[in-house]
Structure 1
Amino acid sequence: MSMFKKGRIAAGVVAVGAIVALAGCASGDPTAPETGSAGASGDGIVVGSFAFPESEILGEIYAQALTAQGFDVSTKFNIGPRQQTIPALQDGSINLIPEYNGNLLAYYDTEFAERTTEDVDAALVDAVAADDLVVYASAEAEDKDAYVVTSEFASANNLTSIGDLAAVQPFSLGANPQFAELGYGIPGLASVYGVSDVTFVPYEDYGGPDTVKALTDDTVQVADIYTTSPDLKAKDLVVLEDPENLIAAQNVIPLLSSKIASDELQKALDAVSAELTTDDLIDLRNRVEGDEKASASTAAKDWLTEKGLI
């Protein structure tokens, strides 16, 4: 098994799968379209999403952008992990979903060696074709693990990249328990960047409030926090650069059934990808998950309007 195997996927499958199991008990068929009449036998586009807020926001962006271009669009959000979304794409329950290129490639090849956006995107073309699926251009926006420090710690120690941590050893690092064994975690930190004098402190919330608090109160000096976390801006945290691509690309990318693929659809989705940045995702998540509690639909509409896409 490759040292770079994606542990976040396995954990996410368990957590999201539990959510879907509960939802299924209450709402019946989890792959029936929520709005509109497009489905497996229709000519419309059914946009799906995973069962977490960021994915729903992205699904709304795709759906509203395509509707503005004259496509017949309906939505089916909060489906679950790839073990459910890929079959849904194949049977026509949905036919388009916002994906993440690195984790999607890992679904097809747990031993994948590609690290950069370009290499991962290129490998995906053949990987998804096996399921009669297609990917279009990925966005600059990424939601992936990152080595994060406070701005004070970065400034005091002249830290800009992961390799700079070698100069501040020993230090404590907080992350999910699996991080101690993942290829892009503690083992990769040592083998790729030569940083090995690290005290690992496990937290169960995957870059959530407990991990952030441990970082900001100096219980740990480095933490694994995802790159679209609203706390990065709210707490003035610094994402350390990864010039050696220890952590594989996780760019947002549209995944769709080849049955609906067309030049017009590609043009419309490429236009969205060309505008979407990681900072945008942070701001969108903050609006939906923060104090404002905006709906995913409202946040998506405002972003699309700002970018001149609707």
Structure 2
Amino acid sequence: MLGRTAHSIFWMYRYLERAENTARLLEAGHRMSLTRAEDAANAEWRSVITTLGMRGDYEQHFDDYTGAHVCDFVLRSKLNPLSVLTMLEKARMNARASRSAITGEVWEAVNEGWMVLSDMLARQVKESDLGTVLASIRRQSTLVRGATHGSMLRNEIYSFARTGTFIERADSTARILDVKYYLLLPSLAHVGTVLDTSQWDNVLQSLSGERAYRWLNSGRMDSRSIADFLILDPRFPRSLAFCYSALRENLSALAQLHGEETDAHVAMRAAEMALSDRRIEDIFDQGLHEFLIEFIASNQTISNTIAEAYRFTA
């Protein structure tokens, strides 16, 4: 496979995963804002922008954090180079560039999703329509994922697709956790209060883990058990442990297909071993924020190493 084709596949699935994760985060922010006073609601919207890494760009154009401004900026604004609409366009562009490598079903799912959502996002989304639009973003990503699982050979194309998905998913989970713990909670005095509990519940909803967590923990809501679930539980498909297990499996498949391991495999194996050796007590002793910043940087290094190893710019 040419490096540029591998690049297109990898980034097509990264952009689709990022668009879906953004929709989930916006939905959680919207849900929280409906139950809060105006100042607190604006703080929730600011945390959404911060989590997405868009604060610098956003504050160049707006001096407030109203729901209307945040949602429009994140979903469709031409002022935002990382808007959901831009990500969907880039996913479609990469799908077109690699069309000979993907199945017709995958191309149709990507193209149809882009057409549906481009129409929905052609104008500013009304608050009354926000839930429908966010559900559609999640649904279109799910359709592509279903087409991928149901129609693609388990070859290097599939492995690059899954690698892109889980690199992006791990980054998203880590960023959402970090913003909650380091930025979202106003004061240590709120730890263990109703506000703290509602924010952790918001984190679980952002990652579609609320029902699974409550089922496993009998409704107990505390920071350590939730962090343990989202970081170290290999059963939850958005946990850091699950993402890295899936990354290792797909990189191993690539090594078998190519007949050799690369620096990416060495970096991935070291990162997964370091994560599997951690207990949640060790992570909190180190500092959750410090651990997550370290994880995000390591995850980016692995992504860069994959690009170098498989000549994504070739």
TM-score norm. by structure 2 comes to 0.30
Larger relative helix fraction: 2
Larger relative strand fraction: 1
